[in-house]
Amino acid sequence: MSPSEEEVLAFVTTEAALLDVGDFKSWLTLYDHDCRYWIPSEPGQTDPDQQISIVYDDRNRLSARVARLCSGKEYAQLPPSVTCHQLSNLAVAEDPTKNMFCVKAVQVVYEKRPNTELQILPGRVSWQIRRRAEGLRITRKRVEILDVHRYFENLTFLL
Amino acid sequence: MTHEPVTRQSMARTNEGADSADSSAGFGHLVSEHRVHRSVYLDEAVFQAELESIFGRSWIYVGHQSQVPTPGSFTTSWIGQQPVILTRDLGGEVHVLFNRCSHRASTVCQERSGTCRQFRCDYHGWTFRLDGSLIGPTFADGYDDIDFDIDDYALSRPNRVEKYRGFVFANLSDSGPSLRNHLGNAAAYIDLFCDLAPTGDIVVGSPGQHRYGYAGNWKLQCENGVDGYHPNFVHQAFLESAAPEGRAMRLFHGRSPATASDLGNGHGLLDNRPNLADAHERAMDRTEAGRELHRQLVDRLGPSRAKQVIRTNGGQGFNLLVFPNLLIIQHQIRVVHARRVDLTEIDLHPTMLGGADPELNAARLRAHESFYLSLIGGAPGDLEMFRRVTDGLKVESAEWLPILRGLRRTEVDSTGARHGQVTDEHPQRGFYRRWLEAMQTANDREDSP
């Protein structure tokens, strides 16, 4: 594994860690200005404009969600969730330009609030990551929830 | 200790003390213009009576015909707890069939939606056409003409199926009002919702759907979908960020000019046109795609009706509850499934406008995603409240939930619909008036010899 591939894998692990400690504002800074954060509503969904997604956010919308999450008025997060984002089967591919990376992983998110049952959300994640002067930035993250047809109760935490 | 189940006996006993709207019948002491009893949400006996009297005798929304767009397409739903399939047969006709093999009762369709040429029961291999008729049993020589008439073994179907603007409803009862009579004042709002499409038809199904659920009673969602009192509290974080200077907080304020209505027959409405109609009109003419839609609507509907439609639902125009299980909110059709007394599952179908610019339809999807299902939108706050309410309802000594907000400032129109300020609880009173009527009707029938 090349030094830059190791750096990219450390980067996605850092992203997961920021979510798990609830540092959403720092988490947001990992996303580039033209990013898309996508949770499809169907396995293999290809067109977000023809079919609803669970989330299909640009930077502005993602930032609005983080603002609400941090507002103290998001009752589905009072008391807040604690989460563990577990990444495995990580694979990284480097673009020939050396500026873009594609990472794939299997992710299991464990989520718990004091008054609710433990939720387990397995799925597959892919990232497109760009090297900028200031460091690595996510241009695209896609989370395919394994059991995406279930009747969800609370998804007010970030996957 | 769990709460005492409501049996006929315990109802009669409670009745003696309760200040009841109608003390002569079995459920009259549980619901009045002022309040709802906790057992209405908790009690298995009440739920079983609802399955019979509400889901067994009302027009139940099953799906939209655009969910079965082509011959051979199907989608599934429930009438109460009974699984049904909405199909379009190979000749193009739409049917509602029970998902139950006429042989050994297995469901014959396992997918939520899709296309097929026939339904094959996997248990013993019987096959059915999409109109429900039996193609044949397997190893047919085991059946003879004396005992077995193939026409007797079609998939069974609800007694009545009727459509309005592509919305397909079924009724298990062969008596009672027509769908159009049941819809009453609600039909005009379904018209306004559909008329925004250049073709006059909304598109459901192909845009996909959201699903969520909660461990609580189905009526909590029905009440909440037309509750104009809660948004400034539950959805404060969303509304504060939804428009500059927190202007969206004015929509559901106690001094908002928006209205709440009991439309009759259990249907409820929140109408935000007094706040938003001008903005909807301006917004539509701001983009080329919007101006094109405006032109298309004028062509199809004429300028006056087009203006009315645009001013109604260019955005968050109204929330409509069609008793008992259908909500139309913003761009969305929401279907409430009462799976158990304490389990509710909800299908949220974002809709697209038939014949509209793809850019406008994509914007409808983005608007839906911003509030529903996930990641710090609006709707998860409602589910959180349903969870908290369900916990609080376990308190036995506090029996009642008041629904009397705005009762003394009701305005009644010539159709009998009752109107008031948007935070008033007219939709909830209307829902429970119809609920009680339906429960009493069945109760009277049961009690008669």
Shortest distance between the Cα of B210 and any Cα of chain A, in A, equals: 7
Query: Quick check: helix, strand or coil at residue B266?
Result: coil
Among A20-34, B14-28, B295-309, B425-439, the range scoring the smallest mean pLDDT is B14-28
| pLDDT one-digit tens code per residue, B389-432 | 999 999 999 999 999 999 999 999 999 999 999 999 999 999 99
Mean pLDDT, residues B262-275: 96
The predicted pLDDT at position B240 comes to 87
| H/E stretch holding A105 | strand A100-112
Mean pLDDT, residues B223-242: 92
Q: Which contacts of B111-117 are long-range, i.e. CB under 8 A and separated by 24 or more positions?
A: B111/B74, B111/B76, B112/A149, B112/B75, B112/B76, B113/B67, B113/B73, B113/B74, B113/B75, B113/B76, B113/B205, B114/B73, B114/B74, B115/B70, B115/B72, B115/B73, B115/B74, B116/B72, B116/B74, B117/B72, B117/B90
Q: Is B403 exposed, middle or buried (0-12, 13-18, 19+ CB in 10 A)?
A: buried
| DSSP structure string for B292-336 | HHHHHHHHHH-HHHHHHHHHHHSSS-EEEEETTTEEEETTEEEEE
Query: ipTM of the assembly?
Result: 0.89
Q: CA–CA separation, B124 vs A88, rounded Å?
A: 43
Q: CA–CA separation, B84 vs B284, rounded Å?
A: 39
Q: CA–CA separation, B204 vs B379, rounded Å?
A: 20
Mean pLDDT, residues A70-87: 91
Query: Is the pLDDT confidence value at B21 over 90?
Result: no
Q: What is the largest CA-CA distance in chain B?
A: 78
Query: Quick check: helix, strand or coil at residue B238?
Result: helix
Nearest to B380 among A45, A67, A76 (CB): A76
Q: The dihedral of CA B387, B225, B381, B407: what is its sign?
A: negative
Q: Which of A62, A151, A159 to mutate to test the interface with B (most CBs of B within 10 A)?
A: A151
CB B83, CB B100: distance < 8 Å:
yes
Mean pLDDT, residues A75-83: 90
> Residue A6: which residues within 8 A CB-CB, separation 6 or more?
none
Higher pLDDT, B84 or B447: B84
A30-47 CB burial, b ≥16 within 10 A, e <16: bbbeebbbbbbbeeebee
Query: Is the pLDDT confidence value at B308 over 80?
Result: yes
Query: Is the pLDDT confidence value at B61 over 50?
Result: yes
Query: Is the pLDDT confidence value at B105 over 90?
Result: yes
Q: How confident is the model at residue B80 (pLDDT cuts 50, 70, 90)?
A: very high
Shortest distance between the Cα of B315 and any Cα of chain A, in A, equals: 17
The predicted pLDDT at position B14 comes to 43
Q: How confident is the model at residue B314 (pLDDT cuts 50, 70, 90)?
A: low
Residues in chain B: 449
Nearest to A56 among B213, B361, B369 (CB): B369
Query: Is the pLDDT confidence value at B4 over 90?
Result: no
Query: Is the pLDDT confidence value at B176 over 80?
Result: yes
Proportion of chain B above pLDDT 70, given as a percent: 91
| pLDDT one-digit tens code per residue, A21-71 | 999 999 999 999 999 999 999 999 999 999 999 999 999 999 988 988 888
Question: Cα B210 to chain center, whole Å?
Answer: 15
Mean pLDDT: which of A88-102, B230-244, B296-310, B374-388 is highest?
B296-310
What is the radius of gyration, based on Cα positions, of chain B? 23
Nearest to B208 among A51, A61, A155 (CB): A51
Q: Which of B337, B351, B375, B394 to mutate to test the interface with A (most CBs of A within 10 A)?
A: B375
Mean pLDDT, residues B224-233: 96
The predicted pLDDT at position B315 comes to 58
Mean pLDDT, residues B222-248: 91
pTM: 0.91
Query: Quick check: helix, strand or coil at residue B213?
Result: strand
Higher pLDDT, A159 or A39: A39
Q: How confident is the model at residue B442 (pLDDT cuts 50, 70, 90)?
A: low
Q: Name the token pair of B157.
A: 């179907």
The predicted pLDDT at position A153 comes to 84
Mean pLDDT, residues B215-225: 97
Higher pLDDT, B24 or B160: B160
B36 forms beta bridges with B31, B401
Proportion of chain B above pLDDT 90, given as a percent: 83
What residue type is assigned to position B312 of the chain? T
Shortest distance between the Cα of A148 and any Cα of chain B, in A, equals: 9
* A147 close to B (CB below 8 A): no
Q: How confident is the model at residue B444 (pLDDT cuts 50, 70, 90)?
A: low
Q: Is A61 exposed, middle or buried (0-12, 13-18, 19+ CB in 10 A)?
A: middle
85-114 in chain B: CB under 8 A from chain A: 112
Q: Which of B259, B205, B237, B254 is nearest to B94 (CA)?
A: B205
Q: The dihedral of CA B141, B142, B146, B152: what is its sign?
A: negative
